[in-house]
Amino acid sequence: MPELIPGPALIPVPGGKVIEEYVGHASSGDDALSIAHMLAPAGWEEPAQEPEFDEYTVVLEGSMDVEHDDGVTHVRSGQAIITRAGERVRYTTSEGARYIAVCMPAFHDELVHRDGFDEHDREPNE
């Protein structure tokens, strides 16, 4: 039987970004993949991370920069980027961005591995 997801689970993250997860660990109990709508304000940045999941990102409005070992990739509205599990990446926006992210396996705090953050407390380590 089809399963209706009545609304997203809100996932708190550092830096003021809003994650609205529609399918995934937090919202539907799925561990295979997650699908989320993201809103990142202008000037938003997050710590570097080395996640244990592939992330497929489609920018709907605005743009974002993805820093990686080979430099920086600028992703504009109408474009997409794929980052692979184990790649060290850092996401930032100058003008803000609205985007969809699909993670495989599903996004989970313990799989993100953000620099300087205790994912259980969601606060920077001192």
As given in the structure block, the two tokens for residue 46 are: 């997050």
CA dihedral of residues 37, 43, 46, 51 (deg, nearest 10): 50
Alpha carbons 31 and 10: distance in angstroms, whole number = 17
In a domain, 3, yes or no: no
1 in a domain, yes or no? no
Kindly report, residue by residue over 24-35, the tens digit of the pLDDT.
999 999 999 999
Domain of 59?
9-121
Q: Is residue 74 part of a domain?
A: yes
Say which CATH number the domain at 86 has.
2.60.120.10
Residue carrying the six token digits 């495989």: 104
Q: What pTM was computed for the model? A: 0.86
126 lies in some domain: no
Number of domains in the chain: 1
Q: Summarize pLDDT for 81-99 with one digit per residue, the tens.
A: 999 999 999 999 999 999 9
Task: Report yes or no: 25 and 34 within 8 Å, Cβ to Cβ.
Answer: yes
- The fraction of the chain above a pLDDT of 90, given in percent, is 78
Amino acid at position 4, single letter = L
Residue 110 pLDDT: 83
**Residue 2 counted as domain residue:** no
**Residues 83, 48 contacting (CB under 8 angstroms):** no
Residue 100 falls within a domain, yes or no?
yes
The per-residue pLDDT for 53 is 97
pLDDT tops 60 at residue 120: no
Question: Is position 58 within any domain?
Answer: yes
- pLDDT tens per residue across span 110-119: 888 888 755 4
pLDDT, tens digit (0-9, with 9 covering 90-100), for 11-22: 887 778 999 999
C-alpha distances (whole Å) from 63 to each of 3, 32, 44, 93, 98 are 33, 27, 11, 6, 8
pLDDT at 123 > cutoff 80: no
Instruction: State residue 117's pLDDT score.
Output: 58
